[in-house]
Amino acid sequence: MKKVFKILVKLIIFLGVMGMFILGAPFSILAYPLHILNKPLCIRLSTFFTYTLWTLISWMFNLSSTVHGSIDIGNESYFVISNHIGSVDFILINEIARKSGMISHVKYAVKDGLRVFPVFYQIIVYVGFLVLKRSFEKDKKKIIRYLEFFNTSGIPIWFVFYPEGSRFSEELKLKSWKYSDEKGMARLNNVLFPRYKGFKLICENLKNSRIKKIVDVTFSYSENEVPPLWKFLFCDTTGIFNCDIRVVSIDEIDDYEKFLYKSFERKDTLITKWNSNATKEK
């Protein structure tokens, strides 16, 4: 009975989420001139939408999912990096931001392919997400302009970036191993070999900005495979997420490529440890 009640509550909250998207359709049209004339104001006003949407989704997620680990890190602006375990990753990051009082200000680097969802795409542009083509040479200038804008505008931000570039999978792990072998680096079993060019560019442009720290997040899921997003939102899932967070000053990093690899090597070790502990408890 309790399980059915949870699912019913999730469905009711989902109606609220759908209501937000219905309201988002006229908003995406009306906000266009404001975005052209006064982008900072447009982003600030759009935080009402993100706060409401992310909070509703967080409620749905928390009805049947648990995140283990200390996830309150304070309400300053950060550059956030994380491993990419599944479609639910953004909810996990948002949960950290919600606990830290920054859920309205989470901005993601997202793929240009989201253009196929017109209303959703326009909203994330107005909110201040960074849309990339996944080509470093094509995206380089856009990344620099984006960081300069947030540095000078004073708008709070958690800028979330996934250095792996894709969600972890066994197929991509084999490709990651091949690249590790070519580089003469140790193979990573639970994460993909991180791409450092974008990370380095971001750090170089943040070094003398008001965003001075990196939040380095590691996630893992207690079950063998992370279920799709719809299962977390509409079903009563039983798995537990482990979370580790460390905060690093950008000024303390001498070699960005080495730091990033060591970060993902550390993630790999943490996930192996969590998986081992979960196996012992069964």
pLDDT tens by residue, 78-91: 999 999 998 889 98
Q: Confidence band (pLDDT; 50, 70, 90) for 27?
A: confident
Q: Tell me: pLDDT of 253 over 80.
A: yes
Q: In whole angstroms, give the CA distance from residue 89 to residue 232.
A: 11
> 12: Cβ–Cβ under 8 A, 6 or more apart, which residues?
none
* Main-chain phi, psi angles of 66, to 5 degrees: -130, 140
What pLDDT score does 218 carry?
96
Task: Give the residue with greater pLDDT, 229 vs 216.
Answer: 216
- pLDDT per residue as tens digits for the range 268-278: 999 999 988 76
> 151: Cβ–Cβ under 8 A, 6 or more apart, which residues?
206, 209, 210, 211
What pLDDT score does 278 carry?
65
Q: Confidence band (pLDDT; 50, 70, 90) for 117?
A: confident
Burial class of residue 120 in the structure, from the number of CB atoms within 10 Å of its CB (0-12 exposed, 13-18 middle, 19+ buried): middle
Tell me if residue 183 falls in helix, strand or coil.
helix
Beta strands in 61-212 (DSSP E): 66-68, 78-82, 106-111, 130-132, 158-161
Q: Confidence band (pLDDT; 50, 70, 90) for 280?
A: low
Would you tell me how many other CB atoms lie within 10 Å of the CB of residue 92? Answer: 21
Could you tell me if 20 and 52 are in contact, meaning their C-beta atoms sit under 8 angstroms apart? yes
Predicted model pTM: 0.90
Average pLDDT, the chain: 88
